[in-house]
Chains A and B, each alone.
Chain A
Amino acid sequence: AQKITQTQPGMFVQEKEAVTLDCTYDTSDPSYGLFWYKQPSSGEMIFLIYQGSYDQQNATEGRYSLNFQKARKSANLVISASQLGDSAMYFCAMREISSNYKLTFGKGTLLTVNP
């Protein structure tokens, strides 16, 4: 089974609107971390936000927030007030204690922000 599933190959959003990028995960580890990375066309991987499995509150970083629903094993990224510069690939990733802390990535979602 896929450890990280991103079901949206591509998403479109109007500038200044909010968008949600979906991510579901599969693990039996009691402790794990969930990450979102942004990859612009230039190729670098930019860390956006982190959620620990024991964190009680949803993570927020500026315009990014993570909608963490542990029972559903979902960790959706919400981007508020979209900007043209948000157009990029977005990857959800998981790190499990049992896996030497390597990151397992989903296939990504290509977000396009329209003016």
Chain B
Amino acid sequence: GAGVSQTPSNKVTEKGKYVELRCDPISGHTALYWYRQSLGQGPEFLIYFQGTGAADDSGLPNDRFFAVRPEGSVSTLKIQRTERGDSAVYLCASSSGVGLTYNEQFFGPGTRLTVL
């Protein structure tokens, strides 16, 4: 079966532009997470969806970042007025539930965002 997919794989944009990053989770997975991985660092949590709602958006760095998951499957991370500091790999992960601490998160290949 298909894993988590993310598009585009690479995105180069100019400072001040708007970008959208897409995540297709594993079919049937209700939980979806976005992480950001800067060079030489571990992934950092951005936002978590359970179904259609954002259950925890405490990791979003500021109000330029927004994410949606309108039908409970595909999610889009939206970044307005991009800054050079937004350059990173954006990872999406999904899991089948959150009832237990053990609930493996399956990661997508990531989108590498470069802001010039």
B residues at A contact (CB < 8 Å): 31, 33, 35, 40-45, 48, 55-56, 59, 89, 91, 93, 95, 98, 101-110, 112
Contacts and interface: CB of A to CB of B under 8 A. Distances in A.
28 contacts: A4-B42, A32-B101, A33-B101, A33-B102, A35-B104, A43-B112, A44-B107, A44-B109, A44-B110, A45-B107, A47-B105, A52-B101, A53-B101, A91-B43, A93-B42, A96-B101, A100-B55, A100-B98, A101-B95, A101-B101, A102-B45, A102-B56, A102-B59, A103-B33, A103-B35, A103-B93, A103-B105, A106-B42
| From A32, A52, A100, A108, residue with most partner B Cβ within 10 Å | A100
A108 B37 CA distance: 12
A107 B41 contact: yes
Contacts of A31: 101
Q: Which of B45, B59, B89 has the most CB of A within 10 A?
A: B45
Contacts of B93: 45, 103
Contact of A100 (B43, B48, B91): B48
